[in-house]
Structure 1
Amino acid sequence: MADHRVEVEVRGPWSLQTSRAFWEGFTPSALPPRPGAALEATFLVEGEWRRASVSVTQHGATAVLSLSGDGDLDRAAAQVCRFLSLDVDGRGWPSVASRDPVIASAQAALPGLRPCGFYSAYEAAAWSVLAQRVRMLQAAALKASLLEDGVFPSPASLVSRPLDLPGRKAEYLRAVAEAALDGLLDAVSLRAMKPAAAVLAVQQVKGLGPFAAELVVLRGANEPDAVPHNESRLTDEVAERYGRPLGEVSEAWRPYRTWAAVHLRVLRERRLGGVVTPA
């Protein structure tokens, strides 16, 4: 098992502590709380689907990634940067606050937050299937029942193993796994597309509608600049805070529309006493 250390210069505001606390409360893919300052995670490397582990620490504007595993650790490091949003140039994020006082308040309440939570677009798609027509905690229990040695199973494993799931979830989950094996849920490819085109592409997978496809692109591939048009709680939050439509309000958030949406959703859940759910 190889060990690999990567230093990443993070451009713009970032707090590992804030991001880690957010992820630990993110029900769809909650990071297990651990003592110490480091963020530690084990995941499957996209495409190879081999295990990798990472310990992330922050030293000023530098993220230090200490990786181990059997696969391509450079590829794993790139994936870590993607699922922690460290690959995004956030130097313009504070200027959004100067244009929008609501976002200014959100940034002050969540200093240095960068959206994180799903290790891959494939895992986000699988969660979307598991969460259909059930409560959030039920979906989390279904996901936990599928884990293999603490990580979500590879697409090949999902295709081959028996799945005892309610309704059509087994059928849809296998469709997601097959799409991942075919490269249709590759985060790099989805990020290279315009967000609207990526959402349409994901909807070609059986069982993934508009809401699910947006989750896959915005939170699985971690696209930083798109608006979730099918997220009713975000729409409600914008209506309450701004009194104007989401599409109009979000123009001031470019090129960090996803980031702004996540911040507003986190503040809403805190205010209403709920759990952190996808935005």
Structure 2
Amino acid sequence: MLSLDEDGTGYPAVGDRDPVIGALQREHAYLRPVLFHSPYEAACAFVIGHRIRIEQGRAIRARIARAHGETFEVAGTTVHAFPAPQVLRRLDALPGVDAEKTARLHGIADAALDGRLDRARLRALPAAEARAEVKRLRGVGDFFAAGIVLRGAGRADALPGDEVTRAGIRRVYGLPRDPTDAEVARLAEPWAPYRMWCSVLVHATERRAR
């Protein structure tokens, strides 16, 4: 979840190659992306939160976890895990979740149980194939697919292509307009092999500026 499974020893060198990224690394204390616990939970979070406020989605997930997830004691505090796929698949009524979203969640649970959302598998596939794989899930389009693969599976070297990151690139590099996909790919070449990590820095900077 803290991206500590990736060797980050070469990460500062990206900032040496690209001074813009170097400044963002220092500003954010060399932040590594914080990930979802699993691609399964990432997919569930995106589906539950679709077209509602972030705070609403988090509250719904917390209620589901309290009602149906495992309970743990951590440093004297009770915490609740999001329900496992086999549990979620049996739930026909979820508070704050309509019938369509429930059907989508059941499909995600089935995919997880079948191994299609296995983290190692999604990281081993070529990035385009991994995104295409998760786009087969009901209700998952390009944006959600990128989130599931990058922030769920935790790929360190791929570009998300979302509009916030694109706008952030325009801002931090002083471009006259949002860059095209080809321009983003060319500009991000020095970021390898940490292109997702650098994208998160740009994304965080853009959200803060907004």
Class of the TM-score when normalised by the shorter of the 2 chains: 0.7 to 0.9
**Counterpart contact for 2:86–2:109, Cα < 8 Å:** yes
Corresponding residue pairs, total: 189
Structure 1 match to 2:192? 254
TM-score normalised by the chain length of structure 2 = 0.85
What residue ranges of structure 1 are gaps of 5+ in the alignment?
A: 1-82, 273-279
Mean CA deviation greater in 163-172 or 133-142: 163-172
- Which structure has the higher relative contact order (CA within 8 Å, separation 6+)? 2
Structure 1 match to 2:76? none
Give 1 or 2: higher helix fraction.
2
Aligned amino acid, residue 194 of structure 2: Y
Candidates 133, 142, 164, aligned match of 2:60 = 142
Shift of 1:193: 1.1
Aligned amino acid, residue 45 of structure 2: W
Shift of 1:261: 0.7
Candidates 155, 160, 164, aligned match of 2:85 = 155
Q: Structure 2 matches for 1:227-266, cutoff 5 A? A: 227-229=159-161, 231-242=162-173, 243=175, 244=179, 245-266=183-204
The sequence identity of aligned pairs, in percent, is 38
SS in 1 for 2:89: helix
Shift of 1:159: 0.5
TM-score normalised by the chain length of structure 1 = 0.65
Give 1 or 2: higher strand fraction.
1
Structure 2 match to 1:190? 122
Equivalent-residue separation in structure 2 for 1:211 and 1:131 (angstroms):
13
SS in 2 for 1:168: helix
1:210 is aligned to 2:128: no
Equivalent-residue separation in structure 2 for 1:114 and 1:163 (angstroms):
37
> Pairwise CA RMSD of aligned residues?
1.4
Candidates 202, 206, 210, aligned match of 1:268 = 206
What residue ranges of structure 2 are gaps of 5+ in the alignment?
A: 72-79
Equivalent-residue separation in structure 2 for 1:268 and 1:206 (angstroms):
30
Q: Structure 2 matches for 1:1-279, cutoff 5 A? A: 83-147=1-65, 148=69, 149=71, 150-164=80-94, 165-166=97-98, 168-229=100-161, 231-242=162-173, 243=175, 244=179, 245-272=183-210
Query: After the TM superposition, which parts of structure 1 deviate over 3 Å for at least 4 consecutive aligned residues?
Result: none
